[in-house]
Amino acid sequence: MKDRLEANIGKFQNPEITAKGEPRARVRLTHPKTLWFNTGTLCNIECVNCYIESSPTNDALVNISADEVRSYLDQLEKRAWPVTEIAFTGGEPFMNPQMIDLARAALERGYDVLVLTNAMRPMMRKNMQAGLLALNAAYPGKMTLRISVDHYDASLHDDERGVGAFGKTLAGMKWLRDNGFTMAVAGRSIMAQSEAESRAGYAAFFAQHGFDIDAHNPAVTVLFPEMDVSVEVPEITTACWGILDKSPDGMMCASSRMVVKRRGAASPAVLACTLLPYAPEFELGETLEQAEQDVALNHPHCAKFCVLGGASCSA
């Protein structure tokens, strides 16, 4: 937070206007497509640049339960949101002991399921493997596991995730490949490389290991820009849509919401954005009805990651 204030002093303070007094851009929930659930912030590793500060000890967001997920799926039906995808992120989702039940709750209602994972030891435990195999057999083609591969070069990946992490993730991906799972990949943008060079590198990596993953499809191989709050970014005004030739309907908060459960909270809460789990101004309430309100783009991530970076967490 200190870095954010120093880099963007005076900015991102008022949800209605920018530091220059211009009307701040807002986004309506126009076409809800994905409902995200944060399964908890615990993770088996601690990455250098983890935006949510996941680690083996961080339980700021606690494990969400299958019953809580079902409650929000009931709300989806009641509110008639046209959601087609239920997505799970963490932390590491397979650290949540109910992860298989969470996925099953969504699959049995007909939703596509996306699980973000590092494909390491938590996913490779026998009970998780058995559960995944059962789900993939019962709901073929309905579940995708998006694997975090920060870079196709093992040393660069391990610089972020720890020595030996690349090999463990690769072993998990090979198990998924051999058992017929649909995989996608999430990587990081490297400033020294063009996007074309990055995608060519991932394509060679996928071909080397026989992974049926399209490196050139941005919805399948997702390359995220770095989220550095210490970098100064411009505030997004209502005029920016025309200047940048972008639409508010293309922002993540126009098509998704995320459910989290904070440590000590009696109930889960619904957030505007998957990237801002700790920013209280992006907490919209406890219900999906409350979460239908507009979202002010009042954070550096809104500008750098979504509007200027054009990134999306979902396919």
CATH code of residue 126:
3.20.20.70
Tokens at 118, concatenated:
């590092």
Across residues 97-104, what is the average pLDDT? 98
Phi, psi dihedral angles at 132 (to 5 degrees)? -65, -45
Is 264 part of any domain?
Answer: yes
Is 247 part of any domain?
Answer: yes
pTM of the model as a whole? 0.93
Tokens at 202, concatenated:
């991932």
Is 242 part of any domain?
Answer: yes
pLDDT of residue 225 exceeding 80:
no
pLDDT of residue 2 exceeding 60:
no
Mean pLDDT for the chain overall = 92
Residue 8 confidence class, pLDDT cut points 50, 70, 90: confident
Is 313 part of any domain?
Answer: no
Is 43 part of any domain?
Answer: yes
How many domains does the chain divide into? 1
Q: How far apart are CA 185 and CA 122, in angstroms?
A: 18
Full domain range(s) for residue 147: 2-308
Residue 310 confidence class, pLDDT cut points 50, 70, 90: low
Q: How far apart are CA 289 and CA 79, in angstroms?
A: 7
Residue 313: the pLDDT is 45
Per-residue pLDDT reduced to its tens digit, 151-190: 999 999 999 999 999 999 999 999 999 999 999 999 987 7
Is 314 part of any domain?
Answer: no
Is 315 part of any domain?
Answer: no
pLDDT of residue 3 exceeding 60:
no
